[in-house]
Amino acid sequence: MMVSKVLLQRRLFSSLLQEAEFHRLAESTIQGLQEKFEDYGDSIELDGFDIDYGNDVLTVKLGELGTYVLNKQTPNRQLWLSSPVSGPSRFDWDQDTKAWIYRRNKAKLYKILEDELEQLCGKPIVLS
């Protein structure tokens, strides 16, 4: 019964966001993050810091501190994040808050990245 409810909720949610709108939001988010990460990388001294974007995948390498990977999952209308701190997460666009939200704990994508990057690199970053 619980699985059906979750699947129904996912179907209902993803059906609210049309594919073209998903691509627009996802690409805007990823490109914006890429620019902010590049600026952030210039402001910190970290061996191995590198950013790569291709095939809808943004990779941020923090040398020995780990690697972040953010990519679009079009069929689910989600952004997927792999974090060296919090592990894997899947984010849905929340129309009410205009933010990418991890449904399990209601965490926002930008807030997670801000908190974790400051924790790892020792310098705050503002993404929103």
Where do the domains of the chain lie, and which CATH numbers do they carry? 2-121 (3.30.920.10)
Report the pLDDT value the prediction gives residue 11, as an integer from 0 to 100: 47
Per DSSP, helices labelled H in the chain are: 2-16, 19-43, 109-121
User: Which three-class secondary structure state does DSSP give residue 118?
Assistant: helix
Helix axes 19-43, 109-121, angle to 10 degrees: 20
DSSP state of 28: H
> Residue 68 has which token pair?
């972040």
End-to-end CA distance of the chain: 38
- Walk along the chain (128 residues) and give the pLDDT tens digit of each residue: 455 555 545 544 544 689 999 999 999 999 999 999 999 999 998 999 999 999 989 999 999 999 999 999 999 999 999 999 999 999 999 999 999 999 999 999 999 999 999 999 999 999 98
